[in-house]
Structure 1
């Protein structure tokens, strides 16, 4: 165990009992909780930002929590809401579901016919193909010779709710399905499962005929509308294209009038972007913008000062705070602390809250002032280290950080 680790650990094992104890060193404030979705979390208090920092969580993703979406529920890690019911199912406890408490799971909209009854009334149960999923818990293996035999085995068992067939292996699930997860499109770990549903959950041939007619009529209307739009567009384009001509290399030579219009009579330059990473102030010192922005976030300062002056501070403060915090999380030194693209979208949409981020160590090394560094590494389940750095040592530490990142 590292000497500078912020926790003390001890383990007692004797003939009467076995237990594990941890205590916090120095004046660090820490709390260990299990929240309502089943995740165990370690939170540390950051005095500088006056907020709790997520030090460690297990499982790391909601969909990894056992039965997070309940029986017959389906979990989506990168969409909101995280849970929905599979096709042919509905929430068992609608009110709890609306409050994002999914533990009650889902139930069938229509009960299975099953057995000889289904053959007598001509309404045989069927299977719905559900691709690109992480298969549910507790499958049973069945020795069969083909996917048809696998389907027949599940069909003849009234308690069988689904089957999967892969690499000449048949798996069936008896009773409720737990921990079914829908993966992102293109995920190479995705499997295919076949869910048993009542025949009424599938569209009839009469319904299909109506759908086909509707699609054909809609397609014709769309083509006609698209043709009209293209006709109007090409007529307008024809009038403006006269001022340009193509040259070798697939480039387009613009006339003087085109450039005049694009730049508002040359009053604006093309390609003008936002503010630079660093700028020189009137006293000759150079201010590194990312470090300055990260400090503003950590100090809960006025984030409107980070905006382009031309905006005149006109921005939603809550949205600006969310974006700035997210940006700081996205450039953390340890890549395991950076959010996934799915989490980024959820945070920007306001579905998921974003906590106060620590200032990345690499940014602190560019600062002129002495700063208190708090950073973590995943190798020891989020190790914490606190370091004091000053301007004279910044150069050598920057070289060290750069070489370690390159390796």
Structure 2
């Protein structure tokens, strides 16, 4: 893509040069400080050290200073002498013949940016993807490790993969009007989004309805994708949205041995004892080259190689260089009296030729060696036997990833035969336990699971990868026949339900309440949008929100829908959740998405604001479903009447208004009218302003 692309070059060819125009024709070239400019002046094209021209067979070519071909458009050859390359006001560079037929266009070959009118998708016939790929850095336009492309698994969504392998961001599935997680485009009145999925192609294209408005979507060298628009008043590009919101969510952003630090001005820093592998790239805020070990001497360099089983060679010349792969293009170099260093190769003992005397020595030593080996083997077998006995006595016997594999008898011991019950839910009961190292855990006995051992372990491994400050961490599991248990970290502060509704409840003040609301939103957004697979909680309520000693909210009991099985049609027929928090989709039989959690979250917000249950057993129907009355008060602007009376009116009017409106948007009847949890987080963190929501029709019927 040639987007506001200003690249200079020089040439010594004695040929015609183009003037200030929007095209070049056969026989003309573009070199030196020459450029072509689109008719409206929006886009300009030039090159640094290359010559740009149309070849005799009608192809666009780039020649270096030696007139050697370095790039060709590979368009259909043509002998027409009226070939012309035109830079359009859309930013598209096209080749046209005498009949004005487009033979080639740059929009078919995007690089790091996508312009309005350009397709982003996949050709189903050829399998070719139109993807956006980052530059290596601001000065090197070679392809970097990050890309924006259609999901290769066939889903109707876009993904951000690292090195075409690890996906660290998804746009969400196309809903028919928008991508849920993407914030969208600049303004709906200016933008038209088209999604096409037919037998030949699947792609997305956005167009701008006002030709004076210029915008682009770009992926930068640090793996962030953003939409930018040109602001004439400042003559600069301004961001409209950038994803992912947290830079540290970008996979391998800081490379090997690099640490991503949101509070660090440069985002990335090296681990202790390491230094940037490429200081030049780090100066451009491109860190994926990672960090190298700081080695002070030739002896340290040798030691570093010996301690690395993958090291094949090392050299020390004003610094340590270590090779872990095959060695290619080796040369013997000479530089006068100054040494150029020695390359030290690592060889196996079998690689050295043996002398006759060494053969004799081997024969003499053979009986002694065999005897010594037998003694060592006996000792080893004894140690193994002792270790196995100790292993049986230990609680945890195997680690899978970050998980400890417990036996059922292990968990019986740590829970004192499941004597201290913490609570129970639809999937089983939870008991408190203490490990040998004195760490406290919560052990959940799962009930009603029907999948096999392999599938259960696969699902548990998926949950093990979930690491977030607002999500309870899974520590281990047990799977013995029909006995299936999960071991979580123990959260001492109790559930949000106990702080709101029980007799011995501890009232949350304004500050803690808002942080609790935001923490739950962040945890659910992580489960929906940041995990490799979308995890739907299906039972969001105060009972399933735990608070630690610092009142940090943690979502618990997530992922049980996945553990019940992957048969989605069966999951749809089995209603899950708690009365009072169920989204209308459960009752109407519509497909279930992450928006059911958004609905439950909205109901929970109403309870947190008011300190009242959303449903009671009163004969007064206006009290039986409290949110119906509460949403009306929000519309009327009487929000202080909703506030928990125990707070004595202590609330920030702007925060309270925002939370009340978010709650009403979350409990809308149609899932398309509800925000995603990612958008809720953005709102609560203060990004967009919340407009007044309508009163949900279903709640109006209940009142």
Structure having the larger proportion of residues in helix? 1
